[in-house]
């Protein structure tokens, strides 16, 4: 058995006016709970340090950049790194990254038990739109504020296993899990900010969104025989509700821990990384069963190509 006790540190809403320092203080409290429950690894949400700012249209790039971090750790997040290292707990969390050469990414990092950043992932499947859309009841401007990630879907040997990361919308795409699955991933962390309603379709509310959340996470875990730890930032931010429903899913696709609240809440599960072996050696033994000669379209085309019309 290779058991990692993992804490999913769901976070309630962060309002526009909340400072990074106040948010980090909340994250440290969640770390305190994780320490009391003897966690080895704590997973925080996407864009954990701020409100979900892509819902706001900002024509002024200088204002946009105020939501980004130019270095990590920085003065605001240093207490989080120090506390995690003092507790000997690894962690992952998401933030908006502004690189020294001016690139903007929606980023997640993996930090080992000593407080060292050992992995970085930049979100690849950016949802939403580029321009202000007056038909929507609220905006989702990730495609405006971020560039698609440029690091692929790497995995890392860390915490005694093989770990990978993805971010929010990535969880809806089977390619995300499979690219990591093909590198033997044993545990995937992901954070999300998912609006509770669809700004373009009234009929799609929180129940359906929670269903899609579970469906994507459970199938990704099962089909790649990996643990998945999915953690929300949730509740109502500046009048905009987001789903909660943080989950830990085992390599059989079963939910083993699930958040009950829409607020700061730690969910915990013992994740035996050896539990990934059975699936990887049987029904999802990729080497024996995948038929890559028939998968060319997966990388050759993005959109749908319809069959010819019947004549």
Residues lying near ligand CDT in the complex (CB under 6 A) are found at 46, 127, 168-169, 172, 192-194
Query: Smallest gap, in angstroms, from Cβ of residue 98 to ligand CDT?
Result: 18
Q: 71 catalytic, yes or no?
A: no
**Which entry of 39, 97, 123, 237 is annotated as an active-site residue?**
123
Pairing, β 161-167 against β 240-242 = unpaired
Residue among 177 and 192 whose Cβ is closer to ligand CDT: 192
Closest CB to ligand CDT among residues 231, 273:
231
166 flagged as catalytic: no
Contact between 268 and 37 (Cβ < 8 Å): yes
**Annotated catalytic, 29?**
no
CB of 223 to ligand CDT, least distance (A): 19
Least distance (Å) between residue 176 CB and ligand CDT: 11
Reported as half-sphere exposure (CB side, CA atoms, 13 A), residue 307 has a value of 2
Kindly name the residue from 97, 142, 166, 168 that is annotated as catalytic.
Answer: 168
Distances (CA, A) of 91 to 17, 87, 165, 229: 26, 11, 11, 12
Tell me whether residue 5 or residue 143 sits nearer to ligand CDT (CB atom).
Answer: 143
35 or 172: whose CB is closer to ligand CDT? 172
Q: Compute and round to an integer the Cα radius of gyration of the chain.
A: 19
46 versus 112: smaller Cβ distance to ligand CDT: 46
Min. distance of Cβ 284 from ligand CDT in angstroms?
25
Identified catalytic residue from 39, 46, 83, 280: 46
User: Which residue bears the tokens 């028939």?
Assistant: 294
Alpha helices, DSSP H, located in 37-103: 61-65, 78-87
Exposure string of 214-232, with b = 16+ CB inside 10 Å and e = fewer, is: bebbbbbbbbbbbbbbbbb
Helix H segments across the chain? 20-36, 61-65, 78-87, 142-145, 174-181, 206-224, 277-281, 286-289, 296-300
Minimum separation from the CB atom of position 137 to ligand CDT (A):
13
Dihedral angle computed from the Cα positions of residues 177, 182, 187 and 192, in that order, rounded to the nearest 10 degrees: -20
Which of the residues are catalytic? 46, 123, 168
């Amino acid at each position: 058995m290779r058991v990692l006790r993992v804490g999913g540190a769901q976070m309630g809403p962060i309002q526009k006016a909340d400072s990074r320092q106040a948010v980090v203080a909340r994250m440290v409290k969640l770390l305190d709970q994780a320490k009391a429950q003897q966690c080895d690894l704590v997973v925080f949400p996407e864009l954990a340090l701020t409100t979900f700012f892509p819902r706001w249209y900002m024509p002024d790039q200088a204002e946009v950049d105020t939501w980004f971090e130019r270095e990590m750790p920085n003065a605001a997040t240093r207490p989080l790194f120090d506390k995690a290292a003092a507790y000997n707990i690894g962690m992952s969390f998401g933030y908006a990254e502004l690189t020294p050469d001016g690139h903007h990414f929606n980023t997640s990092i993996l930090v080992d038990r000593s407080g060292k950043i050992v992995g970085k992932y930049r979100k690849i499947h950016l949802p939403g739109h580029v321009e202000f859309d007056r038909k929507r009841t609220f905006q989702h401007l990730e495609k405006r504020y971020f560039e698609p990630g440029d690091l692929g879907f790497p995995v890392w040997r860390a915490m005694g296993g093989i770990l990978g990361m993805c971010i929010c919308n990535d969880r809806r795409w089977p390619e995300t899990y499979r690219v990591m699955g093909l590198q033997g991933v044993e545990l995937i962390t992901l954070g999300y900010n998912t609006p509770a309603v669809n700004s373009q379709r009234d009929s799609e509310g929180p129940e359906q969104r929670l269903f899609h959340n579970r469906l994507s996470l459970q199938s990704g875990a099962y089909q790649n025989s990996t643990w998945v730890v999915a953690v929300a930032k949730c509740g109502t931010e500046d009048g905009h509700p987001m789903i909660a429903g943080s989950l830990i899913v085992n390599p059989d696709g079963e939910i083993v821990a699930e958040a009950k609240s829409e607020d700061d809440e730690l969910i915990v599960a013992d994740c035996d990384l050896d539990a990934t072996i059975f699936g990887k050696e049987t029904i999802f033994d990729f080497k024996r069963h995948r038929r890559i000669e028939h998968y060319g379209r997966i990388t050759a085309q993005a959109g749908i190509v319809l069959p010819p019309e019947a004549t």
